[in-house]
């Protein structure tokens, strides 16, 4: 009986180094490490991130390869750029690409390049297999992206909405750092919001069709904090704003499909979408809307190489590369 094939994946995004191995039955091995950001800072320069990835991936790749039978590896997948947009590029992804091509050459197996965005969506599908081979909408909500995407039966991705200024993750991180939280601030800000005694101020949700804006809300929240607003109540207001924004966008997306049945399936991926508080708020707001919400497993919502590994598996099993 032929041994089950294995598929490796690598991803070196802006703030996470990761490697993974999967098979048709699930995740075999997965390791990741956040890039260190100094206190009070709201991000990293690409040059610093490249250095940190190079240091992190040395141990991460060793850990994953020590847990798998490399003789069974059939292919390697890697995130090579942020998205399928023209000229989409970040130097950090070169680290993962170099490692992927080196490992593939050593194992004499093919290597497939994908977008980081494709990886997020494919990782989210691991716990939402019922969406595979069906058209659906996907929200990619992170520090680098807040987009509404349409994904067809062949995993072709079309951007059909999103933020016109800052991203949801930037809103969370900027206000979180302003409150003295460490970067990235999502987990700490959510914990703070969950302890709120009041609902705080109502931040304006700016939504036009399937596009939205967060910069005005950031300005209002920052001003409130400077004037002595309670941090916990303000944190709650931030998540309430994101939930109201996504709910309005989802309702608008379903109503804009004139002349054809509305697509009611929505998959939420990305670090911001891992928030249990946000998920609860959104589910309550859309309970009677007809929208069918699907969420990635919390651990697979944030940046990881699992999606690239599964995309590699899909490509080899379908005998073709998945295109974004």
Bridge partners, 12 (sequence order): 17
Those residues whose C-beta lies under 8 Å from the C-beta of residue 183, and which sit 6 or more positions away, are 37, 41, 42, 43, 173, 176, 177
User: Tokens 């998920």 appear where?
Assistant: 279
For 306, the 3-state DSSP assignment is helix
Residue 259: pLDDT over 50: no
Residue 260: pLDDT over 90: no
What's residue 324's pLDDT? 31
Average pLDDT, integer, range 44-64: 95
Q: Are 100 and 60 in contact (CB under 8 A)?
A: no
Quickly state the pLDDT bin for 319 (edges 50, 70, 90).
Answer: low
* Token pair recorded at residue 38: 């100094």
Under CATH, which architecture does the 6-124+302-318 domain have? 2-Layer Sandwich (3.30)
Which is more confident, 125 or 41? 125
Those residues whose C-beta lies under 8 Å from the C-beta of residue 244, and which sit 6 or more positions away, are 205, 285
**Would the CATH topology of 6-124+302-318 be identical to that of 131-295?**
yes
Question: H/E element holding 164?
Answer: none
Enter the DSSP assignment of 61: H
Q: Are 196 and 236 in contact (CB under 8 A)?
A: yes
* Token pair recorded at residue 174: 């900027």
Average pLDDT, integer, range 95-102: 98
Structure confidence by residue, pLDDT tens digits, 165-185: 999 999 999 999 999 999 889
Q: Are 48 and 86 in contact (CB under 8 A)?
A: no
Those residues whose C-beta lies under 8 Å from the C-beta of residue 19, and which sit 6 or more positions away, are 8, 9, 10, 11, 30, 31, 32, 57, 60, 61, 63, 64, 99, 305
Residue 320: pLDDT over 50: no
**What residue segments make up the domains of the chain, in order of their start?**
6-124+302-318, 131-295
Quickly state the pLDDT bin for 257 (edges 50, 70, 90).
Answer: low
Give every strand in the sheet of 146-151, ordered side by side: 206-208, 211-213, 157-163, 146-151, 136-141, 265-269, 292-295
Structure confidence by residue, pLDDT tens digits, 120-170: 999 999 989 999 989 999 999 987 889 999 999 888 899 999 999 999 999
131-295: what fold?
A: Nucleotidyltransferase; domain 5 (3.30.420)
Those residues whose C-beta lies under 8 Å from the C-beta of residue 122, and which sit 6 or more positions away, are 155, 306, 307, 308, 310, 311, 314
Question: For the chain, what is the mean pLDDT?
Answer: 92
Structure confidence by residue, pLDDT tens digits, 25-36: 999 999 999 998
Bridge partners, 294 (sequence order): 267
Instruction: Give the integer Cα–Cα distance in Å for 7 and 253.
Output: 35
Q: Are 173 and 209 in contact (CB under 8 A)?
A: no
Extended beta strands in the chain, E state = 6-12, 16-23, 26-34, 73-81, 111-115, 136-141, 146-151, 157-163, 206-208, 211-213, 265-269, 292-295
- Neighbour count for residue 2 (Cβ, 10 Å): 5
């Amino acid at each position: 009986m032929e041994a089950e094939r294995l598929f490796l994946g690598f991803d070196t995004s802006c703030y996470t180094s990761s490697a993974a191995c999967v098979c048709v039955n699930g995740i075999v091995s997965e390791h990741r490490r956040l890039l260190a950001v100094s206190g009070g800072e709201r991000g990293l320069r690409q040059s610093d991130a490249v250095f940190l990835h190079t240091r992190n991936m040395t141990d991460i790749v060793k850990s994953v390869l020590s847990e798998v039978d490399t003789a069974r590896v059939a292919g390697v997948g890697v995130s090579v750029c942020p998205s399928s947009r023209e000229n989409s590029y970040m130097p950090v992804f070169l680290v993962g690409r170099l490692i992927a091509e080196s490992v593939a050459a050593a194992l004499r197996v093919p290597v497939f390049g994908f977008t980081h965005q494709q990886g997020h969506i494919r990782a989210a599908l691991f716990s939402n297999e019922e969406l595979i081979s069906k058209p659906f909408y996907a929200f990619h909500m992170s520090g680098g992206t807040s987009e509404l995407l349409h994904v067809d039966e062949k995993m072709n991705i079309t951007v059909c909405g999103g933020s016109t200024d800052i991203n949801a993750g930037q809103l969370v991180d900027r206000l979180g750092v302003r409150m003295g939280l460490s970067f990235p601030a999502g987990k700490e800000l959510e914990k703070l919001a969950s302890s709120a005694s009041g609902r705080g101020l109502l931040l304006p949700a700016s939504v036009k069709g399937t596009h939205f804006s967060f910069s005005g809300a950031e300005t209002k929240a920052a001003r409130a904090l400077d004037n002595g607003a309670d941090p916990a109540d303000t944190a709650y207001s931030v998540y309430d704003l994101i939930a109201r924004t996504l709910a309005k966008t989802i309702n608008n997306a379903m109503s804009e499909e004139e002349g054809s049945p509305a697509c009611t399936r929505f998959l939420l991926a990305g670090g911001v979408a891992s928030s249990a508080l946000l998920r609860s708020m959104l589910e309550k707001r859309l309970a009677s809307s007809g929208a069918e919400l699907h969420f990635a497993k919390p651990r697979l919502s944030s940046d990881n190489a699992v999606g690239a590994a599964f995309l590699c598996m899909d490509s080899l099993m379908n005998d073709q590369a998945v295109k974004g």
